[in-house]
Every structure is written in C-alpha cells, then in structure tokens.
Chains A and B, each alone.
Chain A
Amino acid sequence: MMKKVYARTTGIQDKVSGFCPGCMHGTVHKMIGEVAEELGIMDRLVRAEGVGCCGLGQNYVSYDTTISPHGRACAMATGMKRSNPDSIIYTYQGDGDLASIGLAETMHAANRNENITVIFINNGIYGMTGGQMAPTTLLGMKSTTTPEGRDPEKGQGYPMHMCEILNQLTGPYYLERTTCTDPAHVRKTKAAIKKAFQNQIDGKGFSMVEIVTSCPTNWGMTPLKAVDFINSDMLKEYPLGVFRDRSKEEKEAE
C-alpha cells in the first residue's frame, strides 16, 4: 500500500507561475493554500490583493480573489469583512502597496483592529514597475530611483519598519516578522500565517505577518545571492520576531 505523504495544495492552480526565478511569492502562496486546507476554510477564503507583483497572485491561487486599487487592500478588506463576517479575508500586499501608498489604510485598519489577516511581502523594492525605491529599501541600496544608493542626506528617507510602527498602536492583535530563506524559516512563516488566520477565525482581530523576501531580478542578484543578502543585510534592518501577540498576553493574564 502506498501512503500519501505530500500533495500539492488545492489553494493554487495547477500551472506554472510567471514569477521570476528565486521570487518567494510562490512559496508564500503555497503556504497560504496549505494553511487554508488545514484550517478547513478554503471555501470561505477571500484574497484582496494589492497592486504590483502581489497582484499577479490572482492568476495562480484557486479561491475567490479581488484586486484593490493600489494601497487600498486593508480598506477594501474592511468593507468585505464587515459586510460578510463569514468570509475569511486576507490582504496580500507588497511594501510599496502597504507601507507607501497604503500606509494610512494599513495603520487605520490596524488601529480599528479589523478582523482581517494581512500578508505583507517586504523585499525592499518595487518589483513590477522595475526596481524603484520602496519605503523599505535599505540605506545604500541601489534602485532605479536611487541610482547611487538610498541616502537620507539626499532626502530619500530611511527604511520603514512596519511591524514596529504598527506595534505603537493599541489596536492590532498579532504582528510577526518572518522570512523564507531556508526550510526552518519557511516552516516558521507557515506557522505565523496559520496563527494569523486562526486569529481571524476566532474573531480576534488584525493580524499581520511581514515576510522578508527577495527580488533577485531587481536586486540584480542570483536567487542564491539574494538569499545571502537577506541574511546578511535585510534581516539586520528588519529583525525577525513576534512584535505583538495578544493571545499570549491573554493566556498570561489567565
């Protein structure tokens, strides 16, 4: 007798993705699908995706999906969740979408503790539009709009730390930053995604997983070099960890 030990998630379509080699969107999409299966929420799952490479996911995931105007995914998800609380809604947003043009929507959805799940892909750059500076671009990092490297002295500002910023608010329920550089971190990321969805199922509120990922194409690196860069540079600026976990606080209070 053969025993099935692994199956492709039904949460993604059976086709080849157009994401660049070494891009981690595919890994994250797969994990979301697996989590939805494990939690038994696939037929209640709704994806509100941002604009940018994160907006390509509609072509690969297999469940209900809608596309918000650039940056507005948290506002859109607010409307969707309020009007249909049975849906399990997550936003899928890049750093430009969530932390630049959509900063207000992100902050206020968190502040209201909207009962939604936010998957935030932080690769420090605008991918689809061709490698411009993002709010999360590291200092000194070259982009097409910071050709000499990001320099605050030139009025280009500093990297923005969304978990830390949202952690200043009373509202959010769960904030964690993870990465996908190796199997151990992929597993940790999946556990964080699962927790973020479980919180929504339990009606707990705003849960965000910030995933530090790579953009080999726009970083101008091979996929393996990009992974090294995450470990050597990105994670120094964006330390991994749980920033907010009200469920822990609730347990301790008991």
Chain B
Amino acid sequence: MARIFMKGCEANAESAVRAGCRFFAGYPITPQNEIPEYFARRLPEVGGNFVQGESEVASVNMLYGSAQTGTRSMSSSSSTGISLYSEGISFMASARIPAVVVNVVRGGPGIGAIQPAQQDYLQATKASGNGGFRMIVLAPSTVQECVDMVYEAFDLAERDDNPVLILADGVLGTMMEPVELPEMKSDEEVAALKAKYYEKAIVGHPITDRKLGVPGSVGTGQEIRNIEAAAMYKTWDKDIRCEEYMTEDAEIILASYGISARISKAAVKDLRAEGIKAGLIRPITVSPFPYDVFKNLDFDRVKGILDVEMSIPAQMKWDVEYAVQDRLPIHECLRSGGQIMTKEKVMEEAHALVKEVL
C-alpha cells in the first residue's frame, strides 16, 4: 500500500469515507476545519451528504438524525464545540444510536486557545453529557492511528449501538504525516451496511413493524434501558487496548496518551540511552481505561510514575491514581492552554522524578 502524505484532519475524513461514512454535519471551529472542508468536497463524489450546521447544537442533531437511518455518519468539532454536542451525544447513547464523533482538542476551559491541548479527557471518558452513559473513546497518537481508529470506530459503534469518540488533538489534526489508507468500501458494501440496519432504522416501516427511537422513557422503562446499557459497557474489557513500551524492567513509568505519549516514547528512548530504566504505558482506549496494566505493575521494582499530558490540572492522572492507589508516587508533567508538550520538558520532569525516587 502506497504511503500518502496527509494532514491529520483530512486523513480522518478520508478514512471515514472509506469506511462507508456517507453523512457529515459540522460547524466551523479551529483546529478541525479541514475535516468538514474535506467532507464538503469528498462526500458528493460518493453520493453522500455534507451539511454545514448552523451551530454545533444543530450539527450533532443532524448526526443523530442521519445515524438513525442506518447511514454511517460522523461529525467532528473541538473542545468548546464538543461541549455543545453533549446533549446530542447523551441522546444518542440513551437511544443506542451508532455514530462517530471526533474531538480535535484545543486549549480550554472556555474558549481557551485554538492551539492543541488534551484538556477534554475527563469530559470524554467520564461524562460527555448528562445521565452517566459511557462511550468507547479511542486516543490516537499518530495520523496513521487516526486513520485506523476512525475506520474501526464505525464497526464498534454498530456492534454496540453506541456512539464512539475519537479523542485527538490540535497537533494530530494539523500535522502532516505519511499514512497508508484503508480499503475503500464498495457501494454494495455500504448499501449492505445500511440494509442490515433497516430493522432498527427510523425510516418508515409497515405499521405492524413500527420502529421507535427512544432516548428516554417513563415508568421503569428508562431504568431497564440503563441496566441494558450498563451490561453492554461491562463487555468492553475485551476492547481495552494499551501500549506498553520497555516496561519489562522499568523502574520509572511514563503514563501518557495521544500526542503526549509519542513524545514520551521518544523521551523513554533518550532516558534509556542515559541508563535510566524508563518505560511507557500508553492507554489507547482511554475509555475503557486499562486499569489492570497499572494495577499489575511490579510495585517492588517500579519506583514512580510520571503522568504526562497537555492539561493543567492533570486529568488522566485521576485514572492512574485510581489504579495505583498510594503504592507509588505520581509526578506530573503538564502543559496546557495551547502549549505543546516537548521531549525536553518530559526529560526535565523525568529527571526530577528519578532524582526523588531512584
């Protein structure tokens, strides 16, 4: 397969089209504008529909509407825009609608900064909207992973009848990297996917076979739905993905996801070159989170953890702390507000940790 040099946002969009995505609605917000722009050009070529929504609120509900027809559908936004998606995502999770949402995270809180950040971790993994629903949240660290995860996200969404979130960031959205694109699903395959969904789709049926899209209900109905959803979330243990790099003999562990993780990985190499036994744990699914990887660390050998993320205050650290409890000191290596993590910064904080614990 030939390598193509692509911008993260555009690679995301092309991968979605290849996965059979035929609907996109979105609203302009930096740094993800190249996603809607790409879809606006590309979807008409494959018989799909692009709508520029009048707001994020409208866009997420267009997504919700389209996804209910069994058409593979996606939307993207960034941080403050994703806040406006909350209600729509919550409705989709309650009504069990498969859809894919990409968050190209920028600085926050509030309007924050248009530059890259990782400040939506807790929102993405714990409470993307009201009601306590959950989503599979995939955190790519390269443009290639963006491509692979978007392609797969549609399958996961349809398997679970649940929205799936791709938690990217402004670096991944803006940077260019060589990628290999997945296979383009044929028109027949795309049509078959939609046909398969007909039994659930809200598209019109004979009245003897009526379909009802239900994002809520009265009486005990909602609790029954919540119990069903909770049971489904429990099946996600098999979906947990985590990269462990040089952890076999590591004495300090860098814990990091997404863009910060690839920077941390480079730092691990440099630390090893200095003779420091460093390793990296990179959650690839940040929801479900790989708690066991941290719980199962050899606490006699590992002396400390450095939580590396582009968020102040730290957010993923909550999950790491939950897994590790008080068994290890957890230091922080943080940037935020659009300031990008650098290897130099990680090295500095790693050295400080080493000095304290080794």
Whether chains A and B associate is yes
Determine the distance from Cα of A35 to Cα of B87 in the docked complex, in whole angstroms: 33
Per a CB cutoff under 8 Å, which of B55, B71, B213 touches A65? B213
Which residues does chain A contribute within 8 Å of B215, judged by CB atoms? 67, 69
Q: Is the CB of B214 within 8 A of A67?
A: yes
Report chain B residues within 8 Å CB of A107. 54
Q: Which of B24-83 contact A (CB under 8 A)?
A: 25, 49, 51, 53-55, 57-59, 61-71, 73
The CA-CA distance from A69 to B204 in the complex, in Å, is 20
**A42, closest chain B residue (CB):** B207
The stretch among A73-81, A165-173, A224-232 that forms the contact with chain B is A73-81
Complex CA–CA separation, A108 to B61 (angstroms): 13
A64 to chain B, nearest CB (A): 5
**Residue A187 lies at the interface, judged by CB distance under 8 Å to chain B:** no
Please state if B65 and A43 are interface contacts (CB–CB under 8 Å).
Answer: no
Given A79-B23, A87-B203, is A108 in contact with B66 using a C-beta cutoff of 8 Å? no
Contact B61 A79 (CB under 8 A): yes
**How near does chain B come to A44, taking the closest CB pair, in angstroms?**
4
A103 to B51, CA, bound (A): 18
Q: Which residues of B contact A80 (CB under 8 A)?
A: 65-66, 68-69, 202-203
> Are A79 and B202 in contact, CB atoms less than 8 angstroms apart?
no
Chain A, range 118-170, C-beta contacts under 8 Å to B? none
Task: Convert A33-61 into 0s and 1s, putting 1 for each residue whose CB lies closer than 8 angstroms to a CB of B.
Answer: 00000000111111010000000001000
Contact between A45 and B204, CB atoms less than 8 A apart = yes
Contacts of A69 in B (CB 8 A): 61, 64, 87-88, 91, 215
Q: How far is the CA of A84 from the CA of B59 in the complex (A)?
A: 17
Query: Which residues on B sit within 8 Å (CB–CB) of A77?
Result: 65
Min C-beta distance of B352 to chain A, whole Å? 47
A180 within 8 A of B: no
- The verdict on B295 contacting chain A, using a C-beta distance below 8 Å, is no
Which chain A positions have C-beta within 8 A of B70? 84
B211 interface residue per 8 A CB criterion? yes
With an 8 A cutoff between CB atoms, is B110 at the interface?
Answer: no
Nearest Cβ distance between residue A113 and chain B, in whole angstroms? 13
**Number of chain A residues close to chain B: CB under 8 A:** 37
User: Contacts A66-B68, A80-B65 hold; do A104 and B54 have CB atoms under 8 A apart?
Assistant: yes
> A87–B69 contact, CB under 8 A?
yes
Q: Is the CB of B63 within 8 A of A79?
A: yes
How many residues on B have C-beta within 8 angstroms of the other chain's C-beta atoms? 41
B71 in contact with A84 (CB, 8 Å):
yes
Question: Which residues of B have CB within 8 Å of A58?
Answer: 212, 214
How far does the Cβ of A91 sit from chain B's closest Cβ, in whole Å?
Answer: 10
Return A70 CB to nearest CB of chain B, in Å: 8
User: Once the chains bind, are B66 and A68 in contact (CB under 8 Å)?
Assistant: no
| Complex interface residues of chain B between 87 and 145 (CB less than 8 A to chain A) | 87-88, 91, 95
Query: Does the CB pair A79–B67 fall under 8 Å?
Result: yes
A105 at the B interface (CB under 8 A): yes
- Contacts of B91 on A, CB cut-off 8 Å? 68-69
Q: Given A63-B205, A104-B55, verify A79-B211 contact (CB < 8 Å).
A: no
Whether A10 sits at the interface, judged by CB under 8 Å, is yes
Q: Could you list 9 further interchain pairs (A-B, Cβ under 8 angstroms) beyond the known A67-B95, A69-B88, A80-B68?
A: A44-B204, A45-B204, A64-B203, A64-B210, A75-B65, A76-B62, A78-B25, A87-B204, A88-B204
- 26 sample A-B contacts, Cβ–Cβ < 8 Å, listed by A number: A41-B204, A43-B204, A43-B207, A62-B207, A64-B203, A64-B210, A66-B212, A69-B61, A69-B91, A72-B61, A72-B64, A75-B58, A78-B25, A78-B51, A79-B68, A80-B66, A80-B69, A82-B62, A84-B69, A84-B201, A87-B203, A88-B204, A104-B57, A105-B57, A107-B54, A108-B54
